[in-house]
Amino acid sequence: MRLKQLAITALWLCAFACNAKQIAIVIDDIGNHQRDLELLNLPGQVTYALLPHTPFSQHFAYQAALKKKELILHIPMQSLDNKALGPGGLTLDMQKWQLQKTLGHALSSLPHVKGVNNHMGSALTQHAEAMKWTMEVLKKRDLYFLDSRTTPYSQAQTAANLYGVDNVARHVFLDNELDHSQLAIQLNQLKTIATEQGYAIGIAHPYPQTHQFLNRALQDLQVQGFELVPLSTLVENKSIRLATLQKPNNLTP
């Protein structure tokens, strides 16, 4: 019995110790342009966030499925500066049924997605009630949530935890500046975080400069000791870590 318990403990420890230095990179804002399809040729397990009801989102999803690439829904949410959201946007003036119907319609249009993250959303993600309504939908569909962290006051992960929705948060925006040297600085910051805590999540966008930079930089990750993984891998690893911390230490000497 003791050997069995020790073996189980070893498996739990290996679940995150053996998966050290993992990086997930999410490309946001996919679907408006045909050139977005070229991003599917990026090396490794990049995750793509699709805007709903856009001209190329469904074709992109189909092609991504053929290449076994992970997809999430990039749902537009109201920002503090009230920028135009585009189709499928969630706003603060919506009632619960309106928000959930709009989100459900967007999800139904892209059935291959494994999770959701926010497009903009600096206003909506601060609103606890709206985040609860969002998480109700995700819980029913067994989807995870990536908080893009467009505001330090986001209530998204608090609501996700309340409803039992698996969730993670962005660490670094890779391409707020498109100069090659700045892209390299941001990627190095992501690597530093992954080295320190075992994993890191970066968000980028479908800019030609970003595409060109990542096409070369992602090929070097494995040589440098990093593993590029789908975002869901980090979501699952977080769940394992939390379960490990909550698991009572009932081993007997």
The answer to whether 171 and 148 have CB atoms below 8 angstroms apart is no
CA–CA distance, 222 with 224 (Å, rounded to integer):
5
| CATH number for position 182 | 3.20.20.370
Q: Is residue 222 part of a domain?
A: yes
Q: What does the pLDDT read at residue 9?
A: 46
Q: Is residue 252 part of a domain?
A: no
What total of structural domains would you count in the chain? 1
What is the domain range of residue 97?
A: 2-246
Per-residue pLDDT of the chain (253 residues; tens, 9 = 90+): 444 444 444 444 444 445 469 999 999 999 999 999 999 999 999 999 999 999 999 999 999 999 999 999 999 999 999 999 999 999 999 999 999 999 999 999 999 999 999 999 999 999 999 999 999 999 999 999 999 999 999 999 999 999 999 999 999 999 999 999 999 999 999 999 999 999 999 999 999 999 999 999 999 998 999 999 999 999 999 988 777 766 655 444 3
The answer to whether 93 and 140 have CB atoms below 8 angstroms apart is no
Q: What does the pLDDT read at residue 247?
A: 61
Q: Is residue 241 part of a domain?
A: yes
Q: Is residue 85 part of a domain?
A: yes
Q: Is residue 166 part of a domain?
A: yes
Q: What does the pLDDT read at residue 242?
A: 78
Tell me the two tokens of residue 248.
Answer: 């009572």
Q: What does the pLDDT read at residue 241?
A: 79
Q: Is residue 147 part of a domain?
A: yes
Nearest to residue 229, comparing CAs of 22, 18, 6, 79?
22
Q: Is residue 253 part of a domain?
A: no
CA–CA distance, 37 with 39 (Å, rounded to integer):
5
pTM exceeds cut of 0.85: yes
CA–CA distance, 176 with 205 (Å, rounded to integer):
9
Q: Is residue 251 part of a domain?
A: no
